[in-house]
Amino acid sequence: MAQAQRGAWEWHFERPPATMWPLVADTARFNEAAGLPRYSVSEVPRPDGTVDFEARAKLGPFDLRWHESPIDMVQGRSFRQTRRFDNGPFLRLTASLELAPDAAGTRGRYTLEVEPRNLIGRAILAAGFFRQSERGFTRVARRVHDFARGAADMPFALERPALSAEAESRLAAAAAAMTRDGVDAAVAARLSALVRNALDGDLRRIRPLKLARDWAVPERTAIEACLTGVRDGMLAMHWDLLCPNCRGAKRSVASLDRLPQGAHCGTCNIDYERDFTRNVELTFRPLAAIRDVADGEFCATGPMQTPHVLVQQTLAPGETRDVAADLPPGDYRVRGFAPGPEAIVAVGDGGVPALLLGDDAIATGPIAPPGTVRFVNRRAAPFTVVVESRAWVRDALTAARVTAMQAFREMFAAEALRPGDDVAVGRVTLMFTDLRGSTALYARIGDAAAYRLVREHFAFLADRVREHDGGIVKTIGDAVMAVFPDPAQALRAALAVQRAVAGFNTAHGLGTEDGLVIKLGLHAGSAIAVTLNDRLDYFGSTVNLAARLQGQSDGGDIVISEALAADPAVAPLIAGMPVAHEQAAIKGYDRPVAFRRLMLAA
C-alpha cells in the first residue's frame, strides 16, 4: 500500500481568529468558490444508532463514492475532516486547518493528506495535485481576507455564467418595485447583487438576520426587504423544519399550510416535532425564473453547518483527550453525535470540569487545566462528543418572530396553517388594547366621525406595533390584539402608544376632556397558533390572561402580568417607574391574579 502524501501551506490574515474563523471554516462555500464539484449525501443509520454519511460525486472520469467521518473541530481554532473512498484513485483524504493569533492578526495553516489507492492516484499526486490545490484554496483565502478587511463586498465569488437577458430584466424590475414599495434603494441593490453574483451555497437559504449583520442594517430592514422581495418577484419563501439537535433543515416547504407536524433527522437519527419558537425558520432563495439554484453539497459536515457547536471530537474507546479550547463561563449542552445521554454542564471562572462520557450518562469530573477541555471516553466503542451553546442559532428568523411582524401579516395575510391544524409557540407576548368610553364617543361626535376616528386610531396603533417588531393580529370592535416575539419590544410599544396618544388627540382636534383614552394589557407565555378566518391567530391561556389584564386597565396606564414583569429584558424598563402591585379576581382563574399597573405621567 502506498504511503500517504501531504501538502501544507500557510496564510496570514490581518484580522484576529474570531473574525477569520467564520470565513475560512465555512468549508461548503470555500469549496464551492475553489471550484470543487458538488456532491450528494445519503444518511444511512447504523445498528448502533450512529449514522454513516455516504457521498457520491462525478469528478472527471471517476464516479466517486466515499464516507465522511464526523469532523473534529474547536471553534475559532481548528478543524480536521476525513473522507474514506470506496473507489477511485484515492483511499483517504484528510483536510485540516489550524488558526492561531500572531502579531499581524492570524496565522492559518492548511494541510491536505492523501493516501493513493493505485498507480493512477500516485500519478495524480505527482502531477501537481497539491500545487493546484494550494493555488485554488489560496485564491479563495485572499478573497475572504479582502472581505474581512473591507476591500471586497462578498467573501466568496465564483466565475459563473451571467444571467440571461430575461432574468436580468426580471431582477431589475423586482428591485425597482421593491424601492417603490419602501425598501431602501441601497438595500434593494445589495439584495439584487446577491441574487446575481453569490454562490449557490449563499442563496440556497438566504437568512435576513445574517444579511442585517453583514450589511450593518437593522434586522427589521433586512427582514422586510426579503419579504418585499417575495411579493415583488425577486425571492421565494421557504419554511424550514430544523432538527433540535444539529439545527439542520431536514424538511422545507414553500408555504405554512404545507408544514409537516414533524420530521426525521438522518444526521442525528431522531424524530422531532415542530415548534414555531424553537425549530421552524423562514429562509429565502431567488425566484427560479431569475436564478435557479442547484441542490447538492460542497461540504455536508463542515464547522459552519452547525455554528452553535463549539467543540466536536471523536474519541477512541477508553481514550482521554485534552483539547485546547476557551469556554467562557456559562451553561453548555454536552451530547453525542448520535442519540444518547446528554448533560447541561456549568462552566465557571475556575475552568471546565472534565467530561466523563459513559454509556448511560455524561458526568463531570475535576476541573481541567486552564484553557483546556478534557474528555474521558468510558465507552468500549468510539464516541463523537459535541459541546454546544444553548443559545438558539443567532441567524435563525423563527416562525414565531416573523409571523408576529406587521409587515408579514400585511403582505402575506393568506399565509396560514391548514384548517384544523395548530402549532405550538413556545413563548410569545400578547398586547390587548381598547378604548375607554367609546360608547360615549359615538354619542358625542356621531357614528360616522367616531368610526373614522377609531379607524385612524387603528393605524396609529399599527405604526407603533410595527416600529417595535410586532403585528396586529385582529381588531375586535374598538379593541386590538397584537403579538410580539420579544417581551421587551412589546412593553416599549405599549409605552410608545401611551406617550403618543396625546399628540394623536391634538392632531385630531380633541382635548383632554374628549380625547381618546387607551386601555392596555400585556402578558407573555406559550400559545397555540391556528388559522381563524383565513388568518394566523393565537389561542390559549396566555391569550386569555392578556385580554383579561386589558380589562383591568383604567386607561392611560399599562397593566402587565407578573410573568412579563419578571422577564430579564423587561425588568430594567420598568425599574424606577411608578408601579402599583395589585391583584384581582379574574374570570377563569380560581385565585386572584397578581399584576402590575404602570402609572404614566399625564
Q: 255: domain range?
A: 165-296
- State yes or no: pLDDT of 1 exceeds 60: no
Condensed to tens digits (0 to 9), the pLDDT of residues 114-152 reads: 999 999 999 999 999 999 999 999 999 999 999 999 998
Q: What is the mean pLDDT of residues 204-221?
A: 93
What is the average per-residue pLDDT within 377-394? Answer: 86
pLDDT score, position 484 = 95
Average pLDDT, the chain: 90
Domain boundary among 240, 272, 296: 296
The Cα 63–Cα 49 span in angstroms is 29
Specify the pLDDT at position 582. 94
Residue 456 or residue 202, greater confidence = 456
**Residue 484 and residue 529 in one domain:** yes
Q: Cα separation of 312 and 335, whole Å? A: 10
- Residues 421 and 570 grouped into a single domain: yes
Supply the pLDDT for residue 165: 92
Q: What is the pLDDT of residue 350?
A: 87
The CATH number assigned to the domain holding 60 equals 3.30.530.20
The number of helix segments (H) and strand segments (E) in the chain equals 17, 29
Tell me: do 564 and 449 sit in the same domain.
yes
Instruction: Return all residues near 221 (Cβ < 8 A) that are at least 6 apart.
Output: 184, 187, 212
Q: What is the pLDDT of residue 133?
A: 93
Report yes or no on 426 lying in a domain: yes
The answer on 88 and 197 residing in a single domain is no
Segment among 93-107, 132-146, 240-254, 313-327 with least mean pLDDT: 240-254
347 and 327 Cβ atoms separated by less than 8 Å: yes
> Would residue 494 count as lying in a domain?
yes
Residues 129 and 217 in one domain: no
Dihedral of the alpha carbons of 350, 354, 355, 356, in degrees to the nearest 10: -150
> In the chain, what is the straight-line distance between the N-terminal and C-terminal CA atoms, in Å?
87
**Which grid coordinates belong to 334?**
454536552
Determine, yes or no, domain membership for 422: yes
Q: Is the dihedral of CA 151, 155, 157, 162 positive or negative?
A: negative
Identify the band that residue 278 occupies on the pLDDT scale cut at 50, 70 and 90: confident
Q: How many residues would you count in the chain?
A: 602
% of the chain exceeding 90 in pLDDT: 65
Q: Is residue 177 part of a domain?
A: yes
Which amino acid would we find at residue 282? L
Amino acid 281: pLDDT = 92
Q: Looking at this protein, which amino acid is placed at residue 441?
A: L
How far, CA to CA in Å, does 50 sit from each of 46, 56, 65, 85, 265?
A: 5, 20, 19, 19, 12
The domain that contains 497 carries what CATH number?
Answer: 3.30.70.1230
If pLDDT is split at 50, 70 and 90, which confidence band does 447 have? confident
Residue 468 is assigned to a structural domain of this protein: yes
Which residue, 261, 296, 331, sits at the end of a domain? 296
Pairwise CA distance, residues 466 & 182, whole Å: 14
> Is residue 242 pLDDT above 90, yes or no?
no
136 and 204 fall within a common domain:
no
Residues 450 and 525 in one domain: yes
Inside any domain, residue 44: yes
Shared-domain flag, residues 514 and 561? yes
Q: Which three cell numbers stand for residue 253?
A: 416547504
**H-helix segments, 78-128:** 119-126
pLDDT at site 601: 61
pLDDT value of position 2:
67
Residue 411's pLDDT band (boundaries 50, 70, 90)? Answer: very high
Backbone angles phi, psi at 57, to 5 degrees: -155, 155
The CB-based long-range contact list for 409-415 (8 Å cut-off, 24+ gap) reads 409/471, 409/472, 409/473, 409/535, 409/536, 411/227, 411/228, 411/230, 411/231, 412/227, 412/230, 412/231, 413/534, 413/535, 414/534, 415/255, 415/256, 415/536
- Helix pair angle (219-231, 165-180), 10° resolution: 120
Q: Residue 567, Cα to own-chain centre: how many angstroms? A: 22
> Of the residues 296, 319, 348, which one is the last residue of a structural domain?
296
Give the confidence band of 413 by pLDDT, cuts at 50, 70, 90.
confident
Digit-coded pLDDT (tens) for 468-502: 999 999 999 899 999 999 999 999 999 999 999 99
Q: Which stretches of 198-333 are DSSP H helices? A: 200-203, 208-215, 219-231
Are 532 and 457 part of one and the same domain?
yes
pLDDT reported for residue 161: 67
Looking at the fold, whether 233 and 202 belong to one and the same domain comes out as yes
Q: Taking 60 as the threshold, does the pLDDT of residue 602 lie above it?
A: no
Mean pLDDT computed over 259-270: 80
Q: In this structure, is residue 365 part of a structural domain?
A: no
Please check whether residue 417 lies inside any domain of the structure. Answer: yes
* Distance separating alpha carbons of residues 495 and 488, to the nearest angstrom: 11
Query: 443 and 490: one domain?
Result: yes
Find the angle CA(274)-CA(275)-CA(281) to the nearest 5 degrees.
Answer: 85
Of 367 and 272, which is predicted with more confidence?
367
3-class SS shares of the chain: helix, strand, coil, % to 5: 30, 35, 35
Tens-digit pLDDT profile for residues 163-172: 899 999 999 9
State the pLDDT at residue 104: 86
Domain co-membership, 420 together with 500: yes
Cβ pair 369, 353 in contact under 8 A: no
Provide the number of structural domains found in the chain.
Answer: 3
Determine the pLDDT at residue 592. 93
Identify the CA nearest to 549 among candidates 498, 586, 589. 586
Phi, psi of 13 (to 5 degrees): -120, 145
Above pLDDT 70, what percent of the chain?
98
Per-residue pLDDT averaged across 265-277, rounded?
Answer: 81
The residue-averaged pLDDT of 533-559 equals 93
